[in-house]
Amino acid sequence: MSLLAIDTLSIALPKGADRELAVKDVSFTLDKGEILCIVGESGSGKSMSANALMGLLPEGVTPSAGSITFEGRDLLTLSEPEMLALRGKDISMIFQEPLSALNPLMRIGDQIAEVFEAHDLLTPPERRKRALELLHEVGLPDPDTTIRAYPFQLSGGQRQRVVIAMALALEPKLLIADEPTTALDVTTQAQILDLIEDLRKRHGMAVLFITHDFGVVADIADRVIVMQHGEVVEAGEADKVLLDPTHSYTRALLDAIPKLTFRDSVEQTAQPILSVRDLDMTFTSRTGGFFKKPRVVKAVQKATFDLYQGETIGIVGESGSGKSTLGRCLVRLLTPQNGVVKIGGQDISKITGDALRQHRRRIQMVFQDPYSSLNPRSRIGTILTEGLIAYGTDKASARDKARELLSVVGLDPSAMDRFPHEFSGGQRQRVGIARALALDPEVIIADEAVSALDVSIQAQVLDLLADLKDRLNLSMIFITHDLRVAAQVCDRIIVMQRGEMVEFGPSAQVLGNPQTAYTQSLLDAIPGKAHEAALAAQKEAQA
Amino acid sequence: MKAFWSRFRQNRGAVIGLVIIAIVIACAIAAPFLFPRSPWSMVQRPFLPPFEMDGLPLGTDALGRDVLSGLFHGARVSLLVGLVSTVVALAIGIPIGALAGYYGGLVDDALMRFTEFFQTIPSFALAIVLLAIFQPTLSYVILAIAIVSWPPVARLVRGEVLSLRNREFVEAATLSGQSNLRIILRQVLPNALPPIIVLASLMVATAILLESSLSFLGLGDPNVMSWGYMIGAARTVLRSAWWLSFIPGVAILLTVLALNLIGEGLNDALNPRLRKRTS
C-alpha cells in the first residue's frame, strides 16, 4: 500500500471566485522514499492540494469530494487535535519564503527546540542537542554559532536550511515542499535540491515537491504530475513526461522554458548611447548604536561599460550582487557617489532638480513586480498618460498615444478605462512596458522584468520585448538572475559579484566559454541541464 | 463601491451606527422647523418632569426651557463641531504627515518633533488653555479641538506614506517626470486614504466628546445650546432632577457609540484582509 493516496479529490472555492473548484478530481499516490513533483503555473491548484493535505486550507475553501489516505487513515475526516498530532510528526512542510516562515524574534536553536516542545518530546537539554545535530545534518556552517543566531543574521539559503531542519526534526514520513527554492538564487537552489535529495535517501522520506520550474523537476523528480486549472492533465515517470509529453499543455510549458542559446552581437555604432565610467555606489547604515562602526556596503564598484544603439546588455548575478542597484543608479532613483553616466554625451550622474526631471524621459524602467508597479487606484489610461502630461503633452494627444502603445504591446485599447486589478500579471507587465515606452526613451532598463511571471507568460513577454527591440531599435539593459533568459535576449552580458563586474563580453563568450570560476558556478547551478542534454540526444536520434 | 457597501453591510453594528447617525442628522436638520423658538427661551415652569405635559415630552430644565428643543438644537452644534474640527485637523495633519513621510531626513525630523511637541501636552488641558486665551465662540472651540487632535493624523499619514513611497509605482511616477507635489497628491495619498477615513470617523466622535466636556466646564460658546452645556447646567440639580443630566448624556453616548461603530465598519470594509485575520 502507498504511503499517501489521494483519490478523486475536489476542493471547492467560495462563491464568487473565478472558478467553482480549485482542484478537481485529483488522484495520485506517493510511496516511501519517492519524490513526486506537482508542476503547474500560478492558479493551477498545486499549492491548494498540498494545503488540503496538511489541513491548512484558507477560510471558505473546503474539500468537497474524494479522500486523502495517509497510512490508511483519511485525513479529511480527522479532527483538529488529531491533525495537530500528525502535523510536523508524520507530515511536515517547507515553504517558499524562508524569512516569513521563521519567527524573527526567536533564536534558531529555540525555534527548532519548539518543534519538540509542541509535541511534548524530550527534555530541554536533549532538544538542544538534537537541534545542533539537525543543523549539522542540513549542512549549516558552524552550527554552534548558528544555533544562537536570529533569522535576519542568516542568508536566504541558510534560512531555508533551518526551515528544512525544523521540518526534519521529528523524522516525518512525508515532506511537502511548496516552491522551496523559488525565492533563492540558482546556486543556492542547486544546494538545497542536493540537500533534499540527500535527506530523502538517508531517511527514506517521501517528498511531495511543488514547483513551477521544469528544470527543477528534471533534476529531482521520480514522477511528475502536471496540473492546469485545477485538473491533472498529465502524470507519469519524470523522464517520460519530460521527454515525451502527451498533453499539449505540458508540451507548451516545456517549450516555454528559455534555452541556453545565444544571440549574435549587434554591430556597434561609433557613439555609445549610454556610457558608464567608474560608477560607485556605497550604502552606509548606522546599526547598533553610536559607538559601533557604521555598516558599509559597497553595492556597486567601478562599473564601466558602453551601451550602443539597438543593443541589449544583460546584467546577471546572484541577489546582493549589486545588479539592481546599478540599474537604479542609471535611472537616477539613486545617486551614485562617484563615476559618470553619460547619455547622449551628457553626464546625468550629478544633476538634480528640474534638470534631472527633464532628463528622466530619456531613460525609462520596466519594474519587476507587475502587482506593485501600477498604482492600484489609477486607471490604465491615467497611468500611461501621466508621464506625457507631465512633459507638457496635451491630454487628447497623450490619450491617443496611450491607445497606440496599448496595441503595440498587444493589449486592447479598451483597457484604457480599466483598473490594474482587472488584468493578469502578464497583461500588467505589458502595461508596464507600454508606460516605459510612452516617453520615447533612448534607453530602457528592465529590472527582473519577467522574473515574477509564469514560464509561458514569461516567454510571451520576452517575445514582445524582442519584437519591440527589432521594430523600434531599442537599446536595453536587462537585469536578471536567470542566465537562460539573459542568453535569450542579451547581446552582451555583464556578470556581477559583490558589486564588481567580474566578466563582461558577448553572450556567447561569457556563457559559452566563461573565464571566471564564478560565472562557471552560476552556469553549473542552472537546473535541468541533464534534461537539456537528454533532449538534445533525443533530437539527434530523430534526425 | 458596490463591493465596499456589501462588506460594510456585513457588520451589523456598523449599520446600526449608520441608522443612529442618520437620525441625529435628521434631528439637526429638523431643529429650526420643529422648534422655531430659541432653545434658550422659557416655555413653562422649571423642573417639569418628562411625559407630564403634552407638547413638552421631555419636560423643562431649571429655567423652564424645553429639554427636547435643547436636544435638537444641541445635535446641530455637536455634529457641526465634530465634523468641522475633524476637517480642520485633517487639513493640518495630512500635509504635515505627507511631507514628513515623503521627504524624510531633516524635514521628517523637524515636522515630527513639532508634532511630538503637541502630542506631549495632555490634549484636554491644552484645549482648556487655548479657550482661556481665545474668545469662547463656536469657531474658537472648533479651532481648539482641531489643534489638539491633529497629531495622530500626522503620525498615521507619515507611516502610510513611508510604506508607499518606495513602491514601484511611485518610483515609476518619479521616472516619468512627475513633480513631487503631483506624486504625493496623485500616487501616494489616494492609496493612504482608507486608514485616514477610519481615523477621521473616530475623530468626529472624540471631537463631540471634547466639545461636550468643554461646554460642561462652561468653556463652550455661551450663545449656543449644546449637549455638554445641558449636562453642565443640570449638574447642580443632579439629585432632584437627574433626568436633566441623563437625557443629553444618552444623546452623547448614542452619537459617539454610533460613530465608533461606523469607524469599525469602515475599517472592516476598507481593509478586508485585516478582518479575515481576526475572525
What is the crossing angle of helices A455-472 and A248-256, to 10°?
A: 50
User: Is the model's pLDDT at A20 over the cut of 60?
Assistant: yes
Judge whether B262 and B201 are in contact, CB under 8 Å: yes
Determine the Cα–Cα distance for residues B208 and B213; give it in Å rounded to an integer. 9
Q: Is the Cβ pair A432, B172 closer than 8 Å?
A: yes
Residue A143 pLDDT > 90, yes or no? no
Least confident of B52-56, B59-63, B84-88, B215-219: B52-56
pLDDT of res. A292: 64
pLDDT at position A42:
79
Whole-angstrom distance, CA of residue B187 vs CA of residue A262: 41
A:50-69 residues touching chain B, CB 8 A cutoff = 59
Which range (A245-249, A257-261, B91-95) has the least confidence?
A257-261
Of residues A262 and B204, more confidence is placed in: B204
The predicted model gives B51-80 an average pLDDT of: 87
Give residue B277's pLDDT band: very low, low, confident or very high (50, 70, 90).
very low
Angle between helices B12-34 and B67-103 (to 10 degrees): 130
Inform me whether the C-beta atom of residue B179 falls under 8 Å from chain A C-beta atoms: yes
The answer to whether residue B274 scores a pLDDT higher than 70 is: no
Q: Are A384 and A365 in contact (CB under 8 A)?
A: no
Across the interface, do B182 and A390 touch by the CB < 8 Å criterion?
yes
Higher pLDDT, A97 or A439: A439
pLDDT band at residue B278, thresholds of 50, 70 and 90?
A: very low
As to burial, measured by CB atoms within 10 angstroms (0-12 exposed, 13-18 middle, 19+ buried), residue B254 is middle
Residue A29 β-bridge partners: A5
ipTM of the complex: 0.78
Rounded Cα distance between A441 and A120, Å, is 63
A149-177 b/e with 16+ CB inside 10 Å = b? bebeebebbbbbbbbbbbbbbbebbbbbb
**Model pTM greater than 0.95?**
no
**Gap between the terminal Cα atoms of chain B:** 23
Count, residues in chain B: 279
Asked if the Cβ–Cβ distance from A368 to B168 is below 8 Å, we say yes
Give yes or no for A180 touching B (CB within 8 A).
no
Q: How confident is the model at residue A253 (pLDDT cuts 50, 70, 90)?
A: confident
| Inter-chain residue contact A367 with B182, CB threshold 8 Å | no
Taking contacts as CB-CB distances below 8 angstroms, the residues of chain B near A59 are: 276, 279
Q: With CA atoms as reference, report the closest residue to A313 among A302, A305, A321.
A: A305
Q: What's the pLDDT at A291?
A: 63
* Amino acid B140: pLDDT: 92
Coil/strand/helix, residue A211: strand
pLDDT at A266: 63
| Rounded Cα distance, B14 and B141, in Å | 29
**Residue A290: pLDDT band by 50, 70, 90 thresholds?**
low
Q: Check CB contact of A354 with chain B, cutoff 8 Å.
A: no
How far is CA B66 from each of CA B2, B26, B29, B221, B243, rounded to the nearest angstrom?
Answer: 43, 19, 18, 19, 13
Q: Mean pLDDT throughout A223-245?
A: 88
pLDDT digits (tens, 9 = 90+) for A391-411: 888 999 999 999 999 998 889
Give the model's confidence band at A170: pLDDT under 50 very low, under 70 low, under 90 confident, else very high.
Answer: confident
Q: Residues of B with CB below 8 A from A374's CB? A: 169, 172
Q: Which of B172, B174, B279 sits opposite A373 (nearest CB)?
A: B172
Q: What is the mean pLDDT of chain A?
A: 86
Say whether B274 sits in a helix, a strand or coil.
Answer: helix
B196 to chain A, minimum CA–CA distance in Å?
16
Categorize the per-residue pLDDT at A287 as very low, low, confident or very high, splitting at 50, 70 and 90. low
Pick from A88, A57, A86: nearest CA to A70: A86
Lowest mean pLDDT segment, chosen from A131-135, A192-196, A317-321: A317-321
Q: Which of A303, A195, A253 is nearest to A458 (CA)?
A: A253
Among the residue ranges A288-292, B33-37, B55-59, the one predicted with the least confidence is A288-292
> What integer is the mean pLDDT of A423-433?
89
Asked if residues B253 and B17 have their Cβ atoms less than 8 Å apart, the reply is no
CB A238 within 8 A of CB A218: yes
Residue B272: pLDDT band with limits 50, 70, 90 = low
Q: Tell me the average pLDDT across A115-142.
A: 87
Angle at alpha carbon of residue A522, lines to A518 and A524, rounded to 5°? 110
CB contact under 8 A, A375 and B173: yes
CA angle A435, A438, A442 (to 5 degrees): 110
Q: Which residues of B touch A16 (CB under 8 A)?
A: none
Q: Which pairing describes strands A174-178 and A206-211: parallel, antiparallel, or unpaired?
A: parallel
Nearest-Cα distance to chain B for A450, in Å, is: 15
Q: Kindly tell me if the per-residue pLDDT of B275 is higher than 50.
A: no
DSSP state of A1: -
Nearest Cα neighbor of A172 from A88, A54, A115, A94 is: A88
Residues 6+ apart with CB under 8 A from A324: A447, A448, A479
CA distance B25 to B13: 18
pLDDT digits (tens, 9 = 90+) for A268-285: 667 888 999 999 998 887
A324's grid cell:
539592481
**Touching A: B residues 133-172, CB under 8 Å:** 167-169, 171-172
pLDDT above 70 (res A286):
no
Q: Rounded to an integer, what distance in angstroms lies between the CA atom of residue B56 and that of residue B44?
A: 9
User: What confidence score (pLDDT) does residue B276 get?
Assistant: 45
Judging contacts by C-beta atoms under 8 Å, the chain A residues touching residue B186 are 378, 386
Amino acid letter, residue A540: E
